[in-house]
Amino acid sequence: MTNSICLLLSTDHQRCDELFTAAENAVHDHHWDIAGANFQAFLRAARRHFDVEEGILFPAFEQQTGILSGPTQIMRREHAQMRELFDDLESGLGAQDRDRFLGTSETVLVLLQQHNLKEEQILYPMADRALAAGVPQLLQRMREHGVA
């Protein structure tokens, strides 16, 4: 499926992952300026990704399937957990506290990856099937919000 929710959002995951790793590598090397720039770029990308999911994809999915307390609810909860950890990372970065940043980024890496896995393997394919005819319009709206 070349033009699917799964493809669009999985590609966006990869972009976020790359920015996150770049920030971690820079902190590891004590390059705080580069780390700051990469981390801010990551934050913008990740927050946009969460917003697009919570504002566009999840409501459409819930409306179509009638499942309100299912996977979308769990994904929202994990987004909230990640937003909290992002705040921890930001203050670690502000204090130039390498150990704190890298200790927390380890948690974020695992949380983020298992979250992405569940979305890419389960939720996105389900959404592609459930929303079928509505997918092109949904993709268009997500792209308008900067996910590309």
Partner 1 sequence: MHESAGYSGSAALSVDQAPPILVPFRFFLTAPLFGTFAALLLLFLGPAAWASRWSAGILAATHLMALGFLTMVMMGALLQMLPVVAGAPVARAHQVSALVHPMLVMGTLALAWDFLSGGTRVMAAALALLGSAFIVFIAAITASLLRARAAAATVRGMRLSVAALPLTVVLGMSLAVIRTWHVALPFATLVTLHLAWGLGGWVGLLVIGVGIQVVPMFQTTPPYPRIVAENLTPMIFSALLGWSLLRVLAGHAAPDSAGAFIFLAALGYALYAVITLALQRRKRRRIPDITVRFWRTGMVSLLACALCGLSVLWPGGRSPMPIQLTWGILAIVGFGVSVVSGMLYKIVPFLVWLHLSARPDGRGRLSNMKQIISVRHANIQFWLHLASILLLCGAALAPGWLARPAAAVFACLNLLLGLNLAGAWRLYRGLVSGSARS
Binding site for partner 1 (CB under 8 A): 17-18, 21, 24-25, 28-29, 64-67, 70-71, 74-75, 77, 81, 84-85, 88, 99-100, 102-104, 106-107, 109-111, 113-114, 116-118, 121-123, 125-126, 129-130
Q: Who's near 109: CB < 8 A, 6+ residues apart?
A: 20, 24
Give the nearest distance from C-beta 106 to partner 1 in angstroms.
4
Residue among 21 and 40 whose Cβ is closer to partner 1:
21
Cα–Cα distance between 109 and 21 in angstroms, integer? 9
Residue among 126 and 138 whose Cβ is closer to partner 1:
126
- Name the residue with tokens 């409306």: 63
> Concatenated DSSP letters for 44-112?
HHHHHHHHHIIIIIHHHHHHHH--SSSHHHHHHHHHHHHHHHHHHHHHHHHTT-HHHHHHHHHHHHHHH
Give the nearest distance from C-beta 35 to partner 1 in angstroms.
12
Residue among 18 and 54 whose Cβ is closer to partner 1:
18
Residue among 122 and 148 whose Cβ is closer to partner 1:
122
> Which of 133, 130, 140 shows the shortest CA–CA distance to 59?
130
Give the nearest distance from C-beta 144 to partner 1 in angstroms.
26
